[in-house]
């Protein structure tokens, strides 16, 4: 009798597990988003990284059926960045002169991963073409992201859009509402429409909020002071650090200098003549002063508040990736004795463009998604095994202090994100 | 208490600290209870009898009942093994790792001498705490950035005096002089900026000097009747401060530029290190009963492991490499039961069982401290001939499979399964 009861209990548990899994059926999974969801890495959309995009990993872990992406052959579109040298200065540049080409254009249906690098929330709702850009490559004129998502009649959708509504300000070094920043009221309205359209498909939806783009390596790596390339330490005069020169004189200590300044610094721009520099100021477009940083953060906070309210009202579980990045910045992430951080080049999580993730970064964030899917959407997806992405992994090596983020690398980023 | 994480070798160095602890073959935590083969035959339930010179460890008051001069010389061989099965996200579901340290010997040597009808002195050399972990294939072991090998070794010299207050009541005490040292090996990881993948950039070996410190132990033993005896003992906690060196050996990564940066980042050669471990106090109480040819004993042992809260690792002049490892152990009880049957004037046989509850919170379970509650099964025998008696005993210790439940502090998750075979042999001689 006891054995019979045990059997019934086991059967009940199996049934329960089965029904829980049914709540989040990834068999027909669609991703709507931007570069972070596209698997964009090191300034490039390339199959070697796309295969580890967050949606691709979720699809694999969730048993998605025939999950298709707009794959691009090596060296990617644009050409993937690579680290050329660490010494005497760190130089990052495209790894080839000619880009790769699409390898899945003939797919006779929309891709499952519809995320388009550079896409804003408005783009996800309205844009179909972009004159030979990545929208054309990925959407192929078949409709907007949301339209194609609906056409696929998905069982499950991840929505990770809005980063480009704030990221442009960081890349352009200018925080102007309505120009480099999408007004929050507009963002909220558009986001609400996207959610409504996706909900109309009947799919289970899980969303993620926006990263603090003032906390990514693209803007946190270069200090606002002159660094001695030989010692990799700040140069000091009379015991004090020497500030770089900006349009309004010496930079305040809380100024963020973007990686786009590195090629200028290598030519002495922004460095006082007395210290061997050109004595000319860094342009404003590679700097974020405290006011600009505050403006960007306010937008991120407001946009995330809007996302939270809209998702809550719609019953959509939300992955708080903003908090994840903040935690990474504050504490790093311990994995088997390896300390991963958000540091540029040495942290293991951000790629050579300082904005997008490495394969390991994608895997870490995929597990954040899985936690929410499992805890709030009734899923039972196994976590992504990090071993293949680590080969085992990372304490911070001394951060190289001088960077040569090539002008080509910067141009590629600006083009992808539509920054003029 | 939180672990500070500062730089590339921090992990190495907190691991150095963690290396001070570990094995699962002995008492939970890293205490040992194999202190004489007769006591082992009772599964360590010996506080209320302490009828041989190993009383110096079990209950100093027992020394007060020993006649003449007695040697009790022996040792123990322990053969622990641990299997680890990984979980996602790291080191990955189904990943198997094994530990096999072979047979580890340690001594238990005792001498007692009655100075009068009531006053007895003695001295013991035993090992109250010890650990050794050694994971197979260290170069590819997935936990190699936490530890590949750890060893805490040393002995306690335990001069003892006991006094029989009455025919059936004795008290005793001893000075507990500890000589211990620490060794730990591990690898140091870093992200290779040319590949954005993790590589091994160095190996590090910690070797401490032998540290010396003092504690004491007290005991009382009463025999209210021919059949009954009851005992209690206390051994004070001892804090050991270690000095030593951590020797870093750089490993080539294939990138000369990266290697050059790592050579600037990591310490070169041997770096002075200090750390400390607080070994817990032990309180034991036992009750024994004799019935014809049988003797039964039940004991409860309380290790105050809460004193093992954190492990500071300080690298001289390298605060960025120093750390404090949170352990947050809790006090834990052991329960031991044993029985003996005297077959004849030559032979006696024994058996017993103990349950040893782990003091380790699940977050602290790691490749260095894969601690778990354990069950122990004992068997032993004595052969007597005149003034000589030879005691032999064996323990089979089986830990409950323990999962890290996805909350490992090292984010190294999986399930540990440990077992150990222990062989003890002691020779007693009474003058």
pLDDT digits over A344-358, tens only?
Answer: 999 999 999 999 999
Rounded to the nearest angstrom, the minimum Cα separation between B193 and chain A is 5
SS (H, E, C) A343-360: CCCCCECECCCCCCECHH
Mean per-residue pLDDT for B258-269? 89
Instruction: Please check the confidence at residue B7 and state whether its pLDDT lies above 50.
Output: no
Cβ–Cβ under 8 Å, residues A386 and B247: no
Cβ–Cβ under 8 Å, residues B376 and B397: yes
DSSP 8-state code for residue B339: E
Cβ–Cβ under 8 Å, residues A224 and A288: no
Task: Please tell me the least confidently modeled range out of B247-256, B318-327, B350-359.
Answer: B318-327
Mean pLDDT of chain B: 90
Q: Do the chains contact at B261 and A367, CB–CB below 8 Å?
A: no
Mean per-residue pLDDT for B227-252? 96
Rounded to the nearest angstrom, the minimum Cα separation between A327 and chain B is 14
Q: What radius of gyration, in Å, describes the C-alpha atoms of chain A?
A: 22
Greater confidence, B128 or A13? Answer: B128
Distance CA B169, CA B185 (A): 49
Q: Are strands A29-33 and A156-160 parallel, antiparallel or unpaired?
A: parallel
Residue of B nearest to A396 (CA): B8
Q: Do the chains contact at A351 and B196, CB–CB below 8 Å?
A: yes
User: What SS3 state is found at A315?
Assistant: coil
Q: Both ends of chain A: CA-CA distance in Å? A: 75
Mean per-residue pLDDT for B348-368? 96
Residue of A nearest to B7 (CA): A396
Rounded to the nearest angstrom, the minimum Cα separation between B224 and chain A is 49
Ramachandran angles phi, psi of A218, nearest 5°: -55, -30
Residue A86 has a pLDDT of: 86
Q: Do the chains contact at B93 and A393, CB–CB below 8 Å?
A: no
From chain A, pick out residues whose CB is under 8 angstroms from the CB of B8: 395-397
Q: Do the chains contact at B193 and A397, CB–CB below 8 Å?
A: yes
pLDDT digits over A83-115, tens only?
Answer: 999 887 788 999 999 999 999 999 999 999 999
State the burial class of residue A208 (Cβ atoms within 10 Å of its Cβ: 0-12, 13-18, 19+): buried
Which tokens sit at B222? 């009463």
Q: Do the chains contact at B5 and A345, CB–CB below 8 Å?
A: no
pTM: 0.86
Residue A287 has a pLDDT of: 96
User: What SS3 state is found at A91?
Assistant: strand
Spatial neighbors of B377 by CB under 8 A, at least 6 apart, are B43, B351, B352, B353, B395, B396, B397, B398
Distance CA A244, CA A259 (A): 14
Q: Does B412 touch chain A (CB under 8 A)?
A: yes
CA distances from A353 to A82, A217, A410 (A): 9, 8, 8
Spatial neighbors of A350 by CB under 8 A, at least 6 apart, are A216, A217, A342, A343, A344, A356, A357, A358, A361
Distance CA A114, CA A135 (A): 9
Mean per-residue pLDDT for B425-431? 96
pLDDT digits over A140-155, tens only?
Answer: 999 999 999 999 999 9
């Amino acid at each position: 009798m006891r054995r019979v009861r045990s059997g019934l209990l086991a059967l009940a548990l199996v049934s329960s597990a089965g029904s829980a899994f049914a709540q989040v059926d990834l068999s027909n999974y669609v991703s709507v988003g931007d570069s972070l969801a596209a698997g964009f890495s090191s300034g490039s959309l390339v199959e070697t990284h796309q295969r580890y995009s967050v949606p691709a990993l979720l699809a694999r872990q969730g048993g998605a059926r025939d999950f298709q992406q707009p794959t691009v052959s090596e060296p990617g579109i644009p050409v993937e960045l690579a680290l050329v040298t660490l010494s005497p200065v760190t130089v990052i540049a495209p790894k080839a002169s000619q880009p790769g080409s699409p390898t899945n254009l003939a797919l006779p249906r929309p891709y499952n991963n519809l995320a388009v690098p550079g896409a804003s929330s408005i783009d996800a709702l309205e844009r179909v073409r972009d004159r030979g850009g990545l929208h054309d490559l990925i959407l192929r004129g078949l409709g907007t992201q949301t339209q194609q998502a609906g056409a696929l009649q998905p069982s499950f959708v991840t929505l990770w859009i809005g980063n480009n509504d704030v990221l442009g300000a960081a890349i352009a070094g200018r925080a102007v509402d309505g120009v480099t920043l999408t007004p929050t009221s507009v963002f909220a309205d558009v986001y609400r429409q996207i959610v409504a359209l996706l909900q109309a498909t009947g799919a289970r939806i899980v969303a993620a909020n926006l990263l603090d783009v003032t906390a990514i390596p693209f803007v946190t790596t270069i200090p606002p002071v002159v660094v001695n390339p030989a010692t990799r330490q700040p140069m000091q005069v009379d015991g004090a650090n020497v500030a770089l020169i900006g349009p309004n004189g010496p930079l305040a200590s809380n100024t963020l200098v973007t990686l786009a300044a590195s090629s200028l610094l290598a030519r002495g721009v922004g460095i006082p003549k007395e210290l061997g520099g050109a004595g000319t100021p860094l342009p404003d477009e590679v700097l974020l002063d405290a006011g600009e940083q505050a403006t960007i953060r306010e937008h991120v906070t407001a946009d995330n508040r809007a996302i939270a309210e809209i998702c809550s009202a719609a019953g959509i579980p939300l992955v708080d990736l903003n908090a994840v990045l903040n935690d990474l910045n504050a504490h790093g992430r311990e994995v088997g004795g390896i300390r991963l951080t958000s540091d540029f080049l040495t942290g293991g999580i951000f790629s050579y463009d300082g904005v997008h993730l490495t394969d390991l970064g994608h895997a870490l964030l995929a597990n954040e998604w899985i936690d929410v899917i499992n805890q709030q959407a009734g899923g039972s997806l196994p976590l992504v095994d990090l071993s293949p992405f680590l080969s085992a992994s990372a304490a911070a090596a001394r951060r190289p202090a001088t960077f040569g983020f090539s002008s080509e690398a910067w141009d590629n980023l600006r083009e992808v994100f539509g920054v003029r | 208490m939180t672990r500070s994480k500062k730089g590339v070798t921090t992990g190495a160095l907190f691991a150095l600290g963690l290396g001070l602890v570990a094995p699962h073959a002995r008492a939970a935590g890293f205490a040992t209870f194999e202190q004489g083969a007769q006591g082992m035959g009772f599964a360590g339930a010996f506080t209320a009898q302490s009828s041989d010179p190993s009383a110096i460890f079990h209950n100093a008051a027992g020394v007060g009942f020993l006649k003449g001069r007695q040697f009790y010389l022996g040792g123990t061989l322990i053969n622990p093994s641990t299997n680890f099965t990984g979980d996602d996200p790291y080191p990955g579901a189904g990943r198997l790792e094994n530990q096999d340290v072979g047979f580890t010997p340690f001594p238990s040597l005792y001498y007692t001498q009655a100075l009068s009808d009531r006053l007895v002195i003695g001295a013991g050399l035993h090992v109250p705490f010890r650990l050794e972990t050694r994971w197979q294939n260290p170069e590819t072991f997935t936990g190699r950035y936490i530890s590949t090998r750890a060893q805490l070794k040393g002995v306690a010299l335990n001069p003892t005096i006991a006094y029989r207050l009455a025919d059936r009541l004795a008290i005793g005490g001893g000075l507990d002089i500890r000589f211990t040292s620490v060794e730990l090996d591990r690898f140091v990881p870093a992200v290779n900026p040319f590949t954005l993948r993790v590589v091994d950039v160095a190996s590090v070996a910690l070797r401490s000097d032998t540290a010396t410190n003092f504690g004491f132990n007290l005991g009382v033993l009463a025999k209210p009747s021919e059949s009954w005896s009851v005992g209690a003992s206390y051994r004070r906690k001892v804090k050991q401060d270690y000095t030593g060196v951590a020797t870093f050996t750089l490993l080539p990564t294939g990138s000369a530029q990266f290697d050059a940066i790592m050579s600037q980042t990591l310490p070169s050669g041997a770096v002075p290190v200090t750390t400390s471990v607080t070994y817990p106090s032990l309180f034991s109480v036992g009750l024994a009963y004799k019935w014809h040819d049988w003797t039964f004993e039940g004991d409860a042992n309380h290790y105050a492991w809460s004193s093992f809260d954190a492990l500071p690792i300080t690298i001289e002049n390298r605060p960025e490499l120093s750390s404090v490892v949170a352990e947050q152990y809790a006090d834990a009880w052991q329960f031991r039961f044993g029985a003996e049957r005297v077959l004849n004037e030559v032979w006696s046989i024994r058996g017993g069982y103990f349950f040893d509850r782990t003091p380790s919170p699940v977050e602290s379970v790691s490749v260095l401290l894969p601690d778990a509650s354990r069950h122990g099964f004992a068997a032993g025998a004595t052969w007597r001939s005149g003034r000589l008696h030879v005691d032999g005993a064996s323990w089979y210790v089986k830990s409950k499979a323990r999962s890290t439940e996805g909350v490992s502090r090292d984010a190294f998750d999986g399930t540990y399964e440990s077992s150990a075979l222990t062989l003890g042999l002691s020779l007693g001689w009474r003058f």
